[in-house]
Amino acid sequence: MAEFSLIDRIRARTAARADIALGIGDDAALLQPQAGLQLVVTADTLNSGVHFPPETPAADIGWKTLAVNLSDLAAMGAQPAWCTLALSLPDAQEDWVDGFADGFFALADAHGIVLIGGDTTRGPLSLSVTAMGQVTPGTALRRDAAQIGDDIWVSGTLGDAAIALRAWQGGTLDVRGPAEDAQVEHLRLRLARPTPRVALGRALVGLAHAAVDVSDGLLADLGHICARSGVGARIDPACLPLSAAARARVGDTHARDAALRGGDDYELCFTAPPAKRAAIAGLGERLVLHLTRIGEVVRGQGVVADGSESGTTGYEHFL
């Protein structure tokens, strides 16, 4: 299959948006940003064997490739709009490309984000997305806006993806799924099909001060908020939201450790003034999403969990 038919195959799956004057097929796309809004731009790459097990199904890879980028837009409170995709493939198999597109466009269509360009090249399997969204100027959820006295919140449950990854490494979880055991399948999906919290991010505009998505691990990502805001954080590990599947699989102690240090959950961690507690609780009910208060922003620096200064910085590539 030639590069151009590969592109055609992907282009045939793209939806329309009124603000796209020219989509895939020219030297570049032409877009009409909404007057007065700021542009929000992020880029994330997934490499086979580094960011996902090599045997991961194509549809899951497609989903996750977009999900990790939508998660960054969510963490800014942005409304997703357009994206580009750089797809490096060792060979061009129609089945693989169609499967990839199934996952990618299922998530894209759900969030109204449209693929407007990209590149397909021959090479080791690697996927880079640049995602663009829009936000009213001055309202984005930045990492540098946490204030002393803010509550610290997280969405959903933490640690599931790390536990699933460890189970795969230990040979007790097949990423090709589905697993017969419902709890194992829950963990597998948390790793393979993370849910970007886009609606939450949008709704937090005006409620939250600072936000970050949990991709490298809670301690590391909350640490970014602390560093950029010039504050410290104190969290209570006993409050961390753990899934029933995580607790059943590895027990409370290990589940809590995975929640602190594990990455890849793509939940949002955000800070908000205590006066917003009722509004945030109401938001969680409206979105049918657990929002858990896990600590507070304090003077100082770094993240303190359980009273002891944490030196953990989560997962860094190249360490």
Candidates 258, 265, 161, 163; CA nearest to 213 is 265
Task: Select the span of 19-27, 152-160, 241-249, 254-262 touching its own copies (CB under 8 A).
Answer: 19-27
Does residue 223 interact with its own copies by CB under 8 A?
no
Q: Shortest approach of its own copies to residue 212 CB, angstroms?
A: 6
Phi, psi of 89 (to 5 degrees): -125, 135
Does residue 319 interact with its own copies by CB under 8 A?
yes
How many residues sit close enough to its own copies to count as binding (CB under 8 A)? 72
Contacts of 169 (CB under 8 A, 6+ apart): none
DSSP 142: B
**What phi-psi label fits residue 300: left (phi over 0), alpha (psi between -120 and 50 degrees) or beta?**
left
Within residues 229-288, the interface with its own copies by CB under 8 A covers none
Strand partners, 292: 154
Within residues 146-205, the interface with its own copies by CB under 8 A covers none
Instruction: Kindly tell me which residue out of 1, 148, 207, 298 binds its own copies, with binding defined by CB under 8 A.
Output: 1
Within residues 20-49, the interface with its own copies by CB under 8 A covers 21-22, 25-33, 35-36, 38-47, 49
Instruction: Kindly tell me which residue out of 58, 113, 114, 135 binds its own copies, with binding defined by CB under 8 A.
Output: 135
What distance in Å separates the CA atoms of residue 288 and residue 33, rounded to the nearest whole number?
A: 31
Residue 87, token pair as written in the block? 């797809």
Residues in the annotated binding site for ATP: 118-119, 143, 215
Of 127 and 255, CB closest to its own copies: 127
Q: Shortest approach of its own copies to residue 140 CB, angstroms?
A: 6
Does residue 110 interact with its own copies by CB under 8 A?
no
Residues 266 and 212 sit within 8 Å (Cβ to Cβ): no
Of 45 and 183, CB closest to its own copies: 45
Candidates 110, 74, 103, 106; CA nearest to 87 is 103
Does residue 121 interact with its own copies by CB under 8 A?
yes
Of 47 and 183, CB closest to its own copies: 47
Q: Shortest approach of its own copies to residue 27 CB, angstroms?
A: 4
Within residues 68-107, the interface with its own copies by CB under 8 A covers 72-73, 75-76, 78, 82, 84-86, 88, 91-92
Q: Shortest approach of its own copies to residue 109 CB, angstroms?
A: 20
Whether the upstream peptide bond of residue 178 has omega within 30° of 0, thus cis, is yes
Q: What is the residue type of 106?
A: A
What distance in Å separates the CA atoms of residue 79 and residue 76, rounded to the nearest whole number?
A: 9
Residue 55, token pair as written in the block? 């045997």
Within residues 51-70, the interface with its own copies by CB under 8 A covers 51
Within residues 137-156, the interface with its own copies by CB under 8 A covers 137, 140, 142-144
Candidates 158, 162, 165, 160; CA nearest to 218 is 158
